[in-house]
Amino acid sequence: MRTIDDLQVAGHRVLVRSDLNVPLDRSGDTPRITDDGRVLASVPTIRTLAERGARVVVCSHLGRPKGEYDEKYSLAPVAARLAEALGRPVAFTGDGTADIAGSAAAEVVAGLGDGEVALLDNLRFNPGETSKDAATRAAFADELAALAEFYVGDAFGAVHRAHASVADVPKRLPHAAGGLVLAELSVLRGLTGGDAGRPYLVVLGGSKVSDKLDVIRALLPKVDALLIGGGMCFTFLAAQGHGVGASLLETEMIDTCKNLLAEGGERIVLPRDVVIADRFAADAATEVVPVTGIRDGWLGLDIGPESTELFAGRLSGAQTIFWNGPMGVFELAPFAAGTKGVAEAIAARDGFTVVGGGDSAAAVRTLGIPEASFSHISTGGGASLEFLEGKSLPGLAALEV
Q: Is 395 annotated to bind ligand? A: no
- Does 358 participate in catalysis according to the annotation? yes
| Interatomic CA distance for residues 202 and 227, integer angstroms | 6
- Does 205 participate in catalysis according to the annotation? no
What backbone phi and psi angles, to 5 degrees, belong to 57? -115, 105
Q: Say how far residue 37 (Cα) sits from the centre of its chain.
A: 10
Q: Give the closest residue to 121 by CA, choosing from 46, 34, 58.
A: 58
Q: Is 168 annotated to bind ligand? A: no
Q: Is 213 annotated to bind ligand? A: no
Q: Is 219 annotated to bind ligand? A: no
Contacts of 132 (CB under 8 A, 6+ apart): none
Q: Is 61 annotated to bind ligand? A: yes
Q: Is 376 annotated to bind ligand? A: no
Radius of gyration of the chain (CA): 22
CB 15 within 8 A of CB 173: yes
How is 306-322 classified by DSSP, letter by letter?
Answer: HHHHHHHHHHTT-SEEE
Q: Is 314 annotated to bind ligand? A: no
Q: Is 357 annotated to bind ligand? A: yes
- Does 229 participate in catalysis according to the annotation? no
Stated length of the chain: 401
> SS3 of 204, please?
strand
From the list 13, 38, 314, 349, the catalytic residue is 38
Q: Is 19 annotated to bind ligand? A: yes
Q: Is 358 annotated to bind ligand? A: yes
Q: Is 360 annotated to bind ligand? A: yes
From the list 205, 358, 380, 381, the catalytic residue is 358
| Interatomic CA distance for residues 306 and 376, integer angstroms | 28
Q: Is 210 annotated to bind ligand? A: no
What DSSP state is assigned to residue 3?
A: B
Listed in sequence order, the DSSP H helices in 87-205 are 103-110, 134-145, 179-192
CB 196 within 8 A of CB 190: yes
From the list 2, 88, 208, 258, the catalytic residue is 208
Q: Is 304 annotated to bind ligand? A: no
- Does 382 participate in catalysis according to the annotation? yes
Tell me the pairing of strands 273-277 and 299-303: antiparallel
Strand order in the sheet with 55-59: 90-92, 117-119, 55-59, 13-17, 150-153, 175-177
- Give catalytic residues, as residue numbers: 38, 208, 358, 382
Q: Binding site for (2R)-3-phosphoglycerate, residues?
A: 38, 124, 161
Q: Binding site for substrate, residues?
A: 19-21, 38, 61-64, 124, 161
Q: Binding site, residues?
A: 19-21, 38, 61-64, 124, 161, 212, 300, 331, 357-360
Q: Binding site for ATP, residues?
A: 212, 300, 331, 357-360
